[in-house]
């Protein structure tokens, strides 16, 4: 009888072990299935969000494309702009190789010595992370670019920064073979930081700059610099500024 009891106990232990093993296998399958389901859900969410972001971006691009430049951002009356400032320029064709520093007396500069190579035409909007150095952008000014500089206040304000991006998008025409069209879209929006120099005048956070060939304050062979400081970015102000100071009035109107 004792021997039979021992066999019975062994059988019960074996059955118990087998049952535990089956339960462990089922639990492992459930965990695996849960992980798979979670991964699939996460993947679907990522794909959905990516697709929605692309859709929203396309919608936003279409909306900006269909909006006149002058209707982007606040009105001229609400932009809080100061009077235009001009002064005789200097530094035309004065190229200084990096890394030699180039100090500028104005914040931001509208003229001056600059790097031999300007910033690329295709980029219309820059952030602090990807902006070329100021001395490259000054070279762009010599070729007739209008530059909209924005400070940290604008950079920290999502709505105002989006306005700046939208303004820049109006000039983003891709590859241009026609020189006239190329010149008409000479615009760059770029940040002005505390590391670049003095802040803008009190209460202003946007600066429009041009380097003209001719003007009341133009120096012979050097032209003049033009500034307009505003509290907020405004397409209406930008449009009028570019009409008042056309790209054709430049020391080097073509190229770049």
DSSP helix/strand/coil, 253: coil
Q: Model pTM?
A: 0.77
Dist CA 82 CA 70 (whole Å): 18
Q: How confident is the model at residue 26 (pLDDT cuts 50, 70, 90)?
A: confident
pLDDT in tens, 76-88: 999 999 999 999 9
Same domain, 121 and 240: yes
Domain span holding position 25: 1-66
Q: Which two tokens stand for residue 252?
A: 């080097």
**Residue 231 falls within a domain, yes or no?**
yes
Same domain, 151 and 166: yes
What percent of the chain stands above pLDDT 70? 93
Higher-scoring residue by pLDDT: 59, 16: 16
**Residue 224 falls within a domain, yes or no?**
yes
Phi, psi of 232 (to 5 degrees): -135, 155
**Residue 251 falls within a domain, yes or no?**
no
Same domain, 139 and 46: no
Give the mean model confidence (pLDDT) for residues 194-211. Answer: 98
Q: Quick one: CA dihedral 26, 30, 36, 39, positive or negative? A: negative
Same domain, 15 and 132: no
Confirm if 115 and 123 have CB atoms less than 8 A apart.
no
**Residue 255 falls within a domain, yes or no?**
no
**Residue 146 falls within a domain, yes or no?**
yes
Same domain, 103 and 57: no
| Mean of pLDDT over the chain | 90
**How many structural domains does the chain have?**
2
């Amino acid at each position: 009888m004792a021997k039979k009891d021992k066999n019975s106990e062994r059988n019960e232990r074996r059955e118990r072990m087998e049952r535990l093993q089956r339960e462990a296998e089922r639990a492992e399958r459930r965990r695996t299935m849960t992980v798979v389901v979670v991964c699939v859900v996460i993947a679907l969410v990522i794909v959905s969000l990516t697709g929605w972001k692309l859709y929203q971006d396309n919608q936003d691009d279409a909306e900006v494309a269909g909006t006149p430049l002058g209707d982007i951002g606040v009105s001229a009356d609400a932009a809080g702009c100061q009077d235009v400032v001009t002064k005789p320029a200097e530094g035309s064709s004065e190229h200084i190789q990096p890394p030699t520093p180039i100090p500028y007396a104005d914040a931001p500069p509208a003229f001056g010595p600059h790097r031999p190579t300007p910033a690329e035409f295709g980029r219309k909007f820059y952030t602090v992370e990807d902006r070329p150095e100021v001395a490259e952008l000054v070279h762009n000014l010599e070729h007739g670019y209008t530059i909209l500089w924005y400070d940290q206040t604008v950079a920290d304000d999502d709505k105002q920064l989006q306005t700046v991006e939208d303004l820049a998008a109006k000039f983003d025409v891709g590859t241009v073979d026609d020189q006239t069209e190329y010149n008409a879209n000479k615009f760059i929006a770029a940040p002005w930081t505390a590391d670049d120099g003095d802040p803008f005048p009190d209460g202003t956070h946007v600066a429009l700059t041009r380097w003209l060939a001719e003007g009341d304050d133009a120096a012979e062979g050097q032209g003049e610099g033009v500034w307009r400081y505003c509290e907020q970015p405004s397409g209406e102000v930008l449009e009028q500024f570019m009409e008042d100071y056309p790209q054709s009035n430049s020391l080097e109107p073509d190229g770049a």
